[in-house]
Amino acid sequence: MNTVKAIELFNSWQGEGQNLGKFITFLRFKACKLPFHKTLCPFCDTRLKMKMNTEFEVTKEQLLSALNSTNYSLCITGGEPGLYLNQIKEILDNFKLNHLEIETNGLNLRQLGDMLISYKEKHPDCYISINLSPKFWDESSLVNYIDLLDKIKMQIVNLINVKLVVSIENKELTDKFLMIMRKNELHIKYSNKIFLMPMGTNMSQIMENSSACIDLAAKYFLNITARIHILYNFI
């Protein structure tokens, strides 16, 4: 395997989303870029790690050893995995996984999706989820994300789970996003695949934003996800 550089490799439980509670190997890339904004998210909870942690070379043996303890379950996160397509391909070419999650803001989603479709063809038993978390804080990026979700091919849609981070501040914009999804009948394509998660890096922020999250989940019949790594205090 050629060099794969990352800032973290560790085993833990998936803290959020549709596979919450699953024991899994996490591989974290360093840098992030958003598809529809020039700046990074103002509420980013990994900004410090991205800035402070030094990249190191992950060897095949290191990754194998971590995966051996999680029944070959891998979550590639960031930063933004869409910036690291060559490195992801390197991993996919060298490992037969049982479970694969990729956490992305949607950067290079089509290329990422095509790569995962090929992997699924080679390894049909592997569960794959693209955990897509749209990051919008203005009308134009919101519309761009709707367009992306609308136009992406069905084979990729089948791999996507959408996670929306909700706060008191962005409730109105998220409501608008969900309303447009419903208007464009996208909620049918993505039904049961949308998870609302309260924003927050500590218990009190999560509790503060949870009512906004619950209101929208009730209004649009959507799933809620917690952040159990914060609630239970593990990494």
Question: Can you give the binding site for ligand SF4, defined by CB under 6 A?
Answer: 32, 34, 40-41, 44, 46-47, 78-80, 105, 135
Joined tokens for residue 179: 């309303």
CB of 64 to ligand SF4, least distance (A): 27
What is the phi/psi pair of residue 98, to 5°?
Answer: -95, -25
Distance of closest approach, residue 119 Cβ to ligand SF4, in angstroms: 23
The conformational region for residue 217 under phi > 0 = left, psi -120 to 50 = alpha, else beta, is: alpha
84 contacts 109 by C-beta, under 8 angstroms? no
Instruction: Return the number of the residue (7 or 67) whose C-beta is nearest ligand SF4.
Output: 7
Q: How far is the CB of 198 from ligand SF4 (least distance, A)?
A: 14
Q: How far apart are the first and last CA of the chain?
A: 28
DSSP 57: E
- Token digits for 95? 């490992």
Tokens of 139: 């009308």
Nearer to ligand SF4, 51 or 124 (CB): 51
Cβ closest to ligand SF4, residue 80 vs residue 126: 80
Token duo for residue 184: 């464009």
Taking the least distance from each CB to ligand SF4, the nearer of 28 and 187 is 28
Smallest separation, CB 1 to ligand SF4 (Å): 25
Q: How far is the CB of 34 from ligand SF4 (least distance, A)?
A: 6
> Taking phi first (over 0 means left), then psi (-120 to 50 degrees means alpha), and beta for anything else, what does residue 193 get?
alpha
Q: Which CB sits closer to ligand SF4, 44 or 203?
A: 44
Q: Smallest gap, in angstroms, from Cβ of residue 215 to ligand SF4?
A: 23
User: Is the Cβ of residue 44 or residue 179 nearer to ligand SF4 in the bound state?
Assistant: 44
- Which stretch of DSSP H or E encloses residue 47? helix 47-52
Maximal C-alpha separation, the chain = 49
